[in-house]
Amino acid sequence: MTATLSSEPQTEESSEPTHTQDTVVETVIEPRSGWQIVDWRELVAYRDLFRFLVWRGIKVRYAQSAIGIGWAVIQPLFSMLVFTIVFGNLANLTSDGVPYAIFSFTALVPWTYFANAVTDGTASLVTNANIISKVYFPRMVLPLAAICSKLVDFAISMLVLAGLMIWFGVTPNWGIIMVPALIALMMLTAGGLGMWLTALAIQYRDVNYAIGFLVQLLMYAAPVVYSIEYIPEQYQALYAINPMVGVIEGFRSALLGTRKMPWLFLGLGTVTALVVALSGALYFRRKERLFADVA
């Protein structure tokens, strides 16, 4: 410390030695110990950031776009037209007693959400690498925001599906009360898989290149373009380990009445989705401290 001498008389107050010290605040961020899956208190504390990222994801998707939210309709609608021509007319696949167009579109609505949510969730850490390396916030907010922002497209597609149901004269049954549970299972599946893939993608960029191809392959592992009746009965329980099987068949049951509500498929799919979500969150948390270094 440097003392300053002066020949001028000093007042009583100034005669007392004054000690000025700079207050230095030091924040230490340490790696978490243990196997904590989700820090809910921290996520709640950063809820404003989560809302901002969801809103930004919606704006970015439609900014400077001539068609805007029309893209939320075009993707499943054009897929429905192609599938109807190829699989409904040329291959003449059965559609459980309803027109093939609405049969495929009812499956495409949850599948399109799942595919887009997993794809965007996987890329969420890589595309926000500049933020990750500069400030701290719970990284789990990024894939969760990407997954939730896709609900806007899903809601628009559901409105189009309602219009098609009116056009084809199809009325839903009591199973429609299960739709919120089906949506929750759909989001849980997308979130769990997204956690796994985004944590892998920031360390191994090959995952980003392969995700589009992987999602296309997964579509044929779910009953999107064909009826589950094509799967031999003895293998249907094994087939339903894929959670999207129960989701798609549940939507068809509730909205089209093609079959009874597939409780067995939903039960098996829920168990799988919980395992994927819990293990994905756990893996994400274990790798979280490395993200800033490898981003």
Could you report the per-residue pLDDT of 20-79, keeping only the tens digit for each?
556 666 666 565 555 567 778 888 888 999 999 999 888 887 776 777 777 778 888 898
pLDDT computed for residue 287 by the predictor: 84
Contact (Cβ atoms closer than 8 angstroms) between residue 62 and residue 68:
yes
Residue labelled with tokens 């809910």: 40
Q: What is the pTM of this model?
A: 0.84
> Per-residue pLDDT averaged across 91-117, rounded?
93
pLDDT computed for residue 14 by the predictor: 45
Could you tell me the end-to-end alpha-carbon distance of the chain, in angstroms, rounded to an integer? 43
> Per-residue pLDDT averaged across 229-245, rounded?
93
Instruction: Give the integer Cα–Cα distance in Å for 198 and 204.
Output: 10
- Mean pLDDT score of the chain, rounded to an integer? 85
Point out the least confidently predicted range of 31-40, 112-121, 222-231, 272-281.
31-40
Assess whether pLDDT exceeds 70 at residue 194: yes
By the 10 Å C-beta count (0-12 exposed, 13-18 middle, 19+ buried), 186 is classed as buried
pLDDT tens-digit map of 26-41: 666 565 555 567 778 8
Instruction: Give the integer Cα–Cα distance in Å for 258 and 98.
Output: 7
Q: How confident is the model at residue 204 (pLDDT cuts 50, 70, 90)?
A: confident
